[in-house]
Amino acid sequence: MFQASNHGNWGSWGPWGQCSRTCGGGVQFAYRHCNNPAPRNNGRYCTGKRAIYRSCNVTPCPANAKSFRQEQCEARNGYQSDAKGVKTFVEWVPKYAGVLPGDVCKLTCRAKGTGYYVVFSQKVTDGTECRPYSNSVCVRGKCIRTGCDGIIGSKLQYDKCGVCGGDNSSCTKVMGTFTKKSPKNYIACALLHFLVV
């Protein structure tokens, strides 16, 4: 007996999952399933995204807090044996220099005080900054842009005064000429421009 094929259709989005961070901008996911109805008898599977994500807990972490990447590296601290079997305590810190742009979302840590480094994981925890002070975070191993507010999909940028979403009106340009003569054996090497905030 011939049975007609039924193409799959997406069910409703589920609830948002747990945030990957408690402060500083984490990521949370929501999922849906191809079960409304599920495909049958060679019917097509649903097309489109099965998962969506958004920013969460974007309140800044305390100023003295370690970076999220540093916390992930430090979780690997411990004793390691060298080639002679001598155990040494190794303290791990994030490695930034020399990391290729396509590898910034890997957990690459350097043994403190050395050039020795290890890629501990192909993906850092979601919500980890791609690079220090960057407007981008890692999501499932890919670097995703954020606004200066740390929110994925936001278009906010810093203005020339350094204000997130500002309109360039909170700083004053000061112009003048410095006329004091340089001390003996000193040479002028730069002309500096300052913005007073």
Task: Report the distance separating Cα 88 and Cα 79, nearest Å.
Answer: 5
Task: Report the distance separating Cα 196 and Cα 173, nearest Å.
Answer: 6
Is 90 exceeded by the pLDDT of residue 118?
yes
Q: For 91-105, what is each residue's pLDDT tens digit?
A: 999 999 999 999 999
Q: For 62-83, what is each residue's pLDDT tens digit?
A: 999 999 999 999 999 999 888 8
Q: For 129-156, what is each residue's pLDDT tens digit?
A: 999 988 999 999 999 999 999 999 999 9
What pLDDT was estimated at residue 173? 79
List strand residue ranges (DSSP E) for the chain, in order.
Answer: 26-31, 51-56, 78-81, 87-90, 92-94, 107-111, 117-121, 136-139, 142-145, 172-173, 195-196
**Whole-model pTM?**
0.80
CB 159, CB 152: distance < 8 Å = no
User: Lowest mean pLDDT: which of 15-19, 105-109, 122-126, 170-174?
Assistant: 170-174
Task: Report the distance separating Cα 173 and Cα 163, nearest Å.
Answer: 15
Boundaries of every domain in the chain = 68-145
What pLDDT was estimated at residue 46? 94
